[in-house]
Amino acid sequence: MVYFGEYRSKIESQGRVIIPSKLRSLIKEDGNNIVYITKGIEKCLFVFPEKIFEQQVEKINELSFTKGNPRIFTRLFYSGSFKEKMDKQGRILIPLQLIEYAEIKENIVIIGAGKRIEIWDELMWKEFCEKYGPSYGEIADKIWE
């Protein structure tokens, strides 16, 4: 299952976000409405369907807790992870600490990013695209070398 596309939306005052129907239907194909919301990289939020989150947890648990970077990453990842169930309208509640982490104001961009969904503040997404968009081809060249 691959999540893709870019969708514009707003976060509700209570911190709820509606997952776009195209992405929501893929989550439901997984067998349930459970997602895990975590601190992402570059000030976004990662949203994983339950099965994918469990696969990520297996990989993270293999990291050595005696080494600095894995230990720090593990602490930050797990402390910033929350289990949520989508309601019938496809909404999930984003905890306040994650809203603050991602600097989400009101307008958001929800993107499909392969095995995960990402939620960005609209301005942060625009800045990311302006910074990295022009080098898309160069980055592709480096990845596929």
The pTM (predicted TM-score) of the whole model is 0.92
Please check whether residue 50 is in contact with residue 126, taking contact to mean a CB–CB distance below 8 angstroms: no
CA distance 86 to 19: 8
CATH of the domain at 77: 3.40.1550.20
Q: Do the domain assignments include residue 117?
A: yes
User: Total domain count for the chain?
Assistant: 1
In a structure prediction context, what are the per-residue pLDDT tens digits for the chain, which is 145 residues long? 799 999 999 999 999 999 999 999 888 876 688 999 999 999 999 999 999 999 998 998 888 777 778 888 989 999 999 999 999 999 999 999 999 999 999 999 999 999 999 999 999 999 999 999 999 999 899 888 7
Round to whole Å and give the CA distance between 141 and 33: 37
pLDDT given for residue 18 in this prediction = 96
Specify the residue for token string 């496809």.
Answer: 90
How far, in Å, CA of 133 to CA of 80, rounded?
A: 28
- The side-by-side arrangement of strands in the sheet containing 117-121 is 6-10, 107-112, 117-121, 45-49, 34-39, 82-85
Does 1 reside within a domain? no
> Containing domain of residue 136, as a range?
6-143
